[in-house]
């Protein structure tokens, strides 16, 4: 008798005894063998013969036997069998819930969640969206033992974090914060204090690994590593340079390296040398971390000069700094700065460096005259490095005695320029930091305390003249400055509130948009419905790519239809007959002067655009920057990310006959 025949005979015996549990155990453990001779539907029918329980029979019919592979159907059945009345379940969307009812006729499971009472799931949805809540889950503790939960949260924050990690698995810090806030464990305003307290305790816990980078996961270990022979043997065969570095750091952090014997140190040195070679031309940041570790531990191989040379070449040290945590940036800077020539190279690279690297250079070598001179020379240039500007104005109290620096008003002028326009990358980060500084009343008070009366007025007037700051932020800072120094009110320039314009577009563009909308609802959406119906014929919807693509397209079309409908109701067609040439507004032609010469634009409504005729929408950034301006006024020109340039309004003219003809309703179209 074959193995399969023996299993089938056992299933028949279970059917005679109506022993579902034994039969299901048999199927779970031997589904691969049973699948050779029985189809998923055949397995289901064999199991149905072992019970007369209506609920179990409904689970068997709803688990997807015949629609899913046998192993997945078995998992689904096991899940459904666990969803009994009053059992606790977890849902990614709703959190913890309690099963209120299981309806074997309609095959639905009703669950009470904290924020969603009586929510119904089909069996298929329950399998996909619900999990039986394990006893040790933190949400189960909150539900079943609120006192223990509160004590853990308030008195043992480190243990609470460990309980969260056990419940959801290892996760990076931002994800941990999101989980705690989303589930109401810790309010957003209290998170920083909570995490600082928990982290201090977790760092002393040998079972918790807190990474240097916020994006790496915080990990819970099963056991405490003793760093004995087994650890050393495993480490000696490790080939992943990241894991080699992590292992050495942990080993050193536990104080084991100082007392290690020479053979052990030799193995560590050999693995580090291997990791340095493996990281070469693959990961510059990892190479820098490994190089500093080799140097710190005093290993002669690879040679320090060789590793420095690799980092100097092609400015790899700049790329590495941008990817390293601040602590590792400082170690790399110290490793590279082995001579006066090397320090000079680092100072020369300040404009290319990230903020943490610039901060480390100034911190480590700020007492040296050569460093101060290099910093002073950079700040006297017409455009100073964003990182250096942010550092100096933010911590000016530390640098105000540097004779090599230009006056504070020069630094502040650079800071104002940094706050202007759209930036990207590291410069955008610096812009945000500078804007926060200007919003800080205490910082402004200190700045005004260091400035002379003449420089205060100059600073205030320069900031007022800056037209590229966010208007609300600009106004708030101006008001803040006048409160700190009331005498500046005499230098205040009154700014008229920008006019708001009706939401309009030309008859031509309105008709074309409406035609696009009608095509969407009369052609595109019905065609999508046909695609969905056709895709259903390919079988199991959960593994049907054509069906999923069609449903995704349906969601996009419905979203587009909703947006277009709202726009067509809000935007009105217009001939712009009420436009005047007193200022730039929708319905005029504008001649502007730029560094590249003169250009003429036609500003019309929201949906108008024809670059060949110079027509631009009133919603474009260029048009928005010109609206409300008069002849002779300046405005910001949109350009490449980080670039700030300005144009001047030369003349505002009425629309030409050609443009008015272009705006008319095209023949054969309706609105």
Cα 296–chain centre separation: 34
pTM: 0.57
Write out pLDDT tens, residues 516-562.
999 999 899 989 888 888 877 665 555 566 777 888 888 899 889 98
In a domain, 249, yes or no: yes
The last residue of one of the domains, among 450, 467, 492, is 492
Write out pLDDT tens, residues 254-264.
888 999 999 99
Of 559, 572, 589, 574, the C-alpha closest to 657 is 589
Tokens at 169, concatenated:
């698995």
- The helix (run of H) or strand (run of E) holding residue 652 is strand 645-654
478 and 524 inside one domain: no
Contact 99, 83 (CB under 8 A): yes
389 and 486 inside one domain: yes
- What's the structural domain count of the chain? 7
In a domain, 469, yes or no: yes
In a domain, 498, yes or no: no
488 and 393 inside one domain: yes
37 and 68 inside one domain: yes
Contact 385, 348 (CB under 8 A): no
- How far apart CA 245 and CA 373 sit, in angstroms, is 37
Per-residue pLDDT at 535: 77
Per-residue pLDDT at 642: 47
In a domain, 228, yes or no: no
- Write down the residue that tokens 């022993």 correspond to: 19
In a domain, 346, yes or no: no
The last residue of one of the domains, among 82, 100, 120, is 82
In a domain, 19, yes or no: yes
532 and 562 inside one domain: yes
In a domain, 668, yes or no: no
| CATH for 519 | 1.10.287.180
- Per-10-residue mean pLDDT, the chain, length 671: 80 89 89 85 91 92 90 92 93 89 92 88 90 92 93 94 93 92 90 93 88 84 79 91 92 88 94 95 95 95 96 95 91 95 94 95 94 95 94 94 94 90 85 92 94 92 80 85 91 67 92 92 89 72 69 88 91 92 94 91 94 93 90 81 74 94 87 78
Contact 307, 300 (CB under 8 A): no
162 and 93 inside one domain: no
650 and 561 inside one domain: no
483 and 421 inside one domain: yes
511 and 551 inside one domain: yes
Write out pLDDT tens, residues 441-480.
999 999 999 999 999 999 998 898 886 677 778 888 999 9
SS3 371: helix
543 and 631 inside one domain: no
479 and 510 inside one domain: no
In a domain, 93, yes or no: yes
Residue span of the structural domain in which 511 resides: 504-573
């Amino acid at each position: 008798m074959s193995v399969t025949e023996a299993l089938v005979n056992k299933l028949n015996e279970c059917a005679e005894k109506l022993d579902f549990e034994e039969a299901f155990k048999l199927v779970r453990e031997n589904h691969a063998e049973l699948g050779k001779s029985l189809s998923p539907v055949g397995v289901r029918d064999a199991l149905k013969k072992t019970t007369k329980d209506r609920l179990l029979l409904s689970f068997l019919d709803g688990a997807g036997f015949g629609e899913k592979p046998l192993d997945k159907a078995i998992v689904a059945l096991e899940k459904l069998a666990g969803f009994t009345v009053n059992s606790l379940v977890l849902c990614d969307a709703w959190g913890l819930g309690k099963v209120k009812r299981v309806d074997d006729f309609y095959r639905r499971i009703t669950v009470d969640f904290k924020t969603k009472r009586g929510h119904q799931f089909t069996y298929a949805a329950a399998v996909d969206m619900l999990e039986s809540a394990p006893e040790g889950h933190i949400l189960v503790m909150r539900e079943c033992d609120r006192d223990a939960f509160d004590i853990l949260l308030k008195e043992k924050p480190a243990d609470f974090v460990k309980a969260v990690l056990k419940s959801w698995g290892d996760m990076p810090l931002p994800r941990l914060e999101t989980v705690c806030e989303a589930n109401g464990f810790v309010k957003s305003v209290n998170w920083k204090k909570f995490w600082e307290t928990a982290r201090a305790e977790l760092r002393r816990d040998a079972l918790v690994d807190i990474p240097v980078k916020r994006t790496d996961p915080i990990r819970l270990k099963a056991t405490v590593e003793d760093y004995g022979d087994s650890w050393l043997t495993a480490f000696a065969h490790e080939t992943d340079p990241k894991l080699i570095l992590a292992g050495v750091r942990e080993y050193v952090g536990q104080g084991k390296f100082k007392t290690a014997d020479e053979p052990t140190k030799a193995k560590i040195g050999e693995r580090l040398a291997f990791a340095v070679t493996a990281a070469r031309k693959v990961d510059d940041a990892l190479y820098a971390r490994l190089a500093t570790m080799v140097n710190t531990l005093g290993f002669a191989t690879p040679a320090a000069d060789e590793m420095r040379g690799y980092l100097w070449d092609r400015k790899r040290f700049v790329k590495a700094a941008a990817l390293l945590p601040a602590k590792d940036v400082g170690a790399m800077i110290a490793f590279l700065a082995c001579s006066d020539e090397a320090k000079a190279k680092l100072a020369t690279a300040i404009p290319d460096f990230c903020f943490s690297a610039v901060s480390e250079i100034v911190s480590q070598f700020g007492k040296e005259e050569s460093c101060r001179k290099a910093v002073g020379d950079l700040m006297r240039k017409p455009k100073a490095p964003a990182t250096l500007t942010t550092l100096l104005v933010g911590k000016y109290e530390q640098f105000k005695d540097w004779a090599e620096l230009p006056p504070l008003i020069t630094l502040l002028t650079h800071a104002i320029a940094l706050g202007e326009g759209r930036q990207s990358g590291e410069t955008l980060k610096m812009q945000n930091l500078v804007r926060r500084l200007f919003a800080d009343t205490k910082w402004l008070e200190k700045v005004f305390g260091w400035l002379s009366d003449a420089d205060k007025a100059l600073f205030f007037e320069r900031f007022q003249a800056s037209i590229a700051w966010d208007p609300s932020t600009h106004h708030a800072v101006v008001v803040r400055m006048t409160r700190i120094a009331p005498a500046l009110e005499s230098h205040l320039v009154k700014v008229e509130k920008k006019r708001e314009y009706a939401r309009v577009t030309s008859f031509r563009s309105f008709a074309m948009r409406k035609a696009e909308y009608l095509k969407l609802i009369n052609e595109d959406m019905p065609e999508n419905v046909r695609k969905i119906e056709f895709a259903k014929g390919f079988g199991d919807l959960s593994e049907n790519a054509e069906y999923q693509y069609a449903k995704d397209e349906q969601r996009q079309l419905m979203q587009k239809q909703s947006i277009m409908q709202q726009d067509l109701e809000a935007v009105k067609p217009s001939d712009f007959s009420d436009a005047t040439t007193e200022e730039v507004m929708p319905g005029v032609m504008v001649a502007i002067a730029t560094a590249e010469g003169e250009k003429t634009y036609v500003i019309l409504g929201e949906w108008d655009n024809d670059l060949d005729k110079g027509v631009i929408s009133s919603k474009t950034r260029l048009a928005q920057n010109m609206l409300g301006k008069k002849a002779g006024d300046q405005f910001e020109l949109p350009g490449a990310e980080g670039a700030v340039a300005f144009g001047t309004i030369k003349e505002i003219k009425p629309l030409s006959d050609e443009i008015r003809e272009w705006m008319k309703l095209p023949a054969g179209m309706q609105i």
